[in-house]
Amino acid sequence: MYVCVCNGIREKQVIKAVNEGASTVGRIFKAHGCKPECAQCVNCMRDMIANETAEPTVLAAE
Cβ–Cβ under 8 Å, residues 37 and 6: yes
Q: Please tell me the distance from the alpha carbon of residue 28 to that of residue 15, in angstroms, as a whole number.
A: 9
Mean pLDDT by 10 residues, the chain (62 residues): 96 96 96 94 96 81 68
CA 36 from centre of chain: 13
Q: Which helix (H) or strand (E) holds 10?
A: strand 9-10
Amino acid making up residue 18: V
The pLDDT score that the predictor gives to residue 8 is 96
Q: Please tell me the distance from the alpha carbon of residue 43 to that of residue 15, in angstroms, as a whole number.
A: 14
